[in-house]
Structure 1
């Protein structure tokens, strides 16, 4: 079943079309990663199907409704999104930041209800931030700060969580910290998670479903075993990849790769990719 989908979706900035007539389906209860080269439309697609960017053509659906015709609060009760490098006012504590996630459930400027406070505490516990609740967000490490933003999204109590490059600028340990948290939220709570990610090994390890874009078009989608393979990576990234099996997860892993010469082109023939 598709929680989020799009039909004939095209998105443009000024007169430049970034996303071109895409048909997309996001499976419910799974972790979906969007991969592809820089500038291929990954973040733009995420913005369009999450109502941040209005499409030029086509429709994005949230549980069968045109998301761009839904009320903002109704969307915010179903979908939480964490953008790239989000900004916040200086001096906010972790708990204050997380409390922002309760805005969709409030009327006007009312004080936090007991239910709001329970949701905030649950989000802090879920992200292992209780001991940092009174600490300024600016004083946190990169991984802790990213967990604080995720906690804010969790406080919205949505079934769907979108993240645009959640591991950017983080070191290896903090990347794993964030990705393992997202995996736990999916496995233990059944949250549907969609993320844009650059590292194809992380995408393979932590995702159930992959969407591979190139030049604004959706070329491949499916499970990691069918997407993280030499023919697909050759088509998407123009690389000659050697793929092995992760001994810990059994998932495919790119062990090494070379950039292909410029004169190597690829075509799809009866569902298979061949060099020409």
Structure 2
């Protein structure tokens, strides 16, 4: 397993600071979800962890090595990243798309091996897109296309899997299929998974570890019961939530909520209210 850490990173877009002194240590072999209101920096921290963005201050480390000093293929053999809106030609077939996930394992002139083909077939089967293998991406529904992109990430066969809103465009049943698939990959193969999720109940149900963000800062880190609670949701999301224990999963469940003043609080204020 690979260990991923960020230490005191600052990230800005067009001279506007988006992340402020962020430090996170991703638990190995666990599922971590990043939650928070729109524009709080969730996707930015995921892009920073995956080396898509370079912090102005601080560093990101993979097994103790600075990720920005490692070769691209070395990083790609340890970490797969699925962006929210992947930049992929829609004229590709599903199988062609998924085969891109094998790129880090191939030499420049080498063709796909039997092992590559097995990984591609397995990834398509696990995500339910094997029947669409010969169809082009532009012929698929949004949900089918999303599962094909996830298959590409799975075919990369890495210990670390980072996903930015992997349930986007999926209906309720397919959202559960994807999240249950990720849970199975974690449980059976001990893959470390980090994802951005909007649905608080999905985050609580399918995660071991949560990172709650607000206004570019980490506000609360812990297990679902530590984060999905009345005080934290009030401070991070500006909602007055009724939280109960899910009788099936034993995880916290946000039953209903009302809006309150959304004035953001500091992490210190949150810790004092817990």
Same fold (TM over 0.5): yes
The alpha-carbon deviation at position 177 of structure 1 amounts to: 1.9
Shift of 1:129: 2.6
Where in structure 2 are the equivalents of 1:122-161 lying within 5 Å? 122-161=122-161
8 Å CA contact retained: 1:8, 1:21:
yes
CA 1:29–1:156 in 2, change beyond 3 Å: closer, same or farther?
same
Shift in CA distance, 273/139, structure 1 to aligned 2, threshold 3 Å: same
TM-score by length of 1: 0.93
Displacement after TM superposition at 1:228 (Å):
0.3
Aligned pair in 2 of structure 1 residues 177, 21: CA closer, same or farther (>3 Å)? same
SS at match of 2:241: strand
Which SS does the other structure have where 1:272 is aligned? Answer: helix
Q: Tell me, yes or no, if the aligned pair for 2:83 and 2:163 is still in contact at 8 Å.
A: yes
Q: What pairs up with 1:114-263 in 2 under 5 angstroms?
A: 114-261=114-261
Structure 1, unmatched stretches of 5+, are none
- Is 2:79 the partner of 1:92? no
Shift of 1:270: 9.4
Q: Greater CA deviation, 112-121 or 218-227?
A: 112-121
Distance in 2 (CA, whole Å) between partners of 1:187 and 1:49 is: 23
Residue by residue, what CA displacement relative to the aligned partner does 1:198-248 show, whole Å, maximum 9, x if unpaired?
A: 111110011000001111111110000110000000110111111012122
Structure 1, residues 158-179: CA drift from partner, whole Å, max 9, x if none? Answer: 0100001111232222222211
Contact 1:102–1:116 (8 Å) recurs in 2: yes
Provide the secondary structure at the position in 2 that maps to 1:158: coil
* Structure 1 residue 141: Cα displacement: 2.9
Give the match's secondary structure for 1:153: helix
**Structure 2 vs 1, CA of residues 260 and 34 (structure 1 numbering), >3 Å: closer, same or farther?**
same
Aligned equivalents of 2:40, 2:234: Cα separation in 1: 15
Which stretch of the first structure deviates more once superposed, 111-120 or 15-24? Answer: 111-120
Inter-partner Cα distance in structure 1 for 2:97 and 2:13: 31
> Which is worse superposed, 119-128 or 260-269?
260-269
Cα distance in 2 for residues equivalent to 1:2 and 1:140: 34
Aligned residues: 274
The answer for the alignment partner of 1:62 in structure 2 is: 62
The normalised TM-score by structure 2 is 0.94
Flag the 1:69–1:185 CA change in 2: closer, same or farther, 3 A.
same
List gaps (5 residues or longer) in structure 2. none
**How big is the shift at 1:264?**
9.9
* Partner SS, residue 118 of structure 1: helix
